[in-house]
Amino acid sequence: MRYLYSAVLGLALGVSSVFVYGMYPPIGLLLSIAATCLGIWAVGRLWGKRIYRFIAAVVWSLIILRAGFPGLNNEYLIEASTAGNSLINFGFIAVVIAILTPL
């Protein structure tokens, strides 16, 4: 069940990151990256293993990467702008930092 909870939390963090990053351009992006890092760190801290962080990070990564590709009508959820590129790049850096921090 913990694996499933980790995946659901990663899904929630990914979806919220996609929708929050564009709200208020600098603040939404910073909030999205900080919440991602803190949320993935908290998963491992809650259950005491790094594998739960890794599962949440993989699900978050799948959501973020899928949002960067075109949808059915060629719409993008993460645009190729400064904020969108920063979300992808700094988000992945934040995820790696969250996984590697000690429990």
Quick: pLDDT tens for 4-62: 999 999 999 999 999 998 888 789 999 999 999 999 999 999 988 999 999 999 999 99
pTM value is: 0.91
What pLDDT sits at residue 37? 95
Quick: pLDDT tens for 46-83: 988 999 999 999 999 999 999 988 888 888 888 888 88
Q: Answer left, alpha or beta for residue 55, where phi above 0 means left and psi between -120 and 50 means alpha.
A: alpha
**Counting Cβ atoms within 10 Å, is residue 54 exposed (0-12), middle (13-18) or buried (19+)?**
middle
What is the distance between the alpha carbons of residues 44 and 57, in angstroms, rounded to a whole number?
A: 11
- CA of 55: how far to CAs of 11, 59, 79, 98, 103, in Å? 10, 6, 26, 12, 16
Residue 103 confidence (pLDDT) above 80: no
What pLDDT sits at residue 71? 81
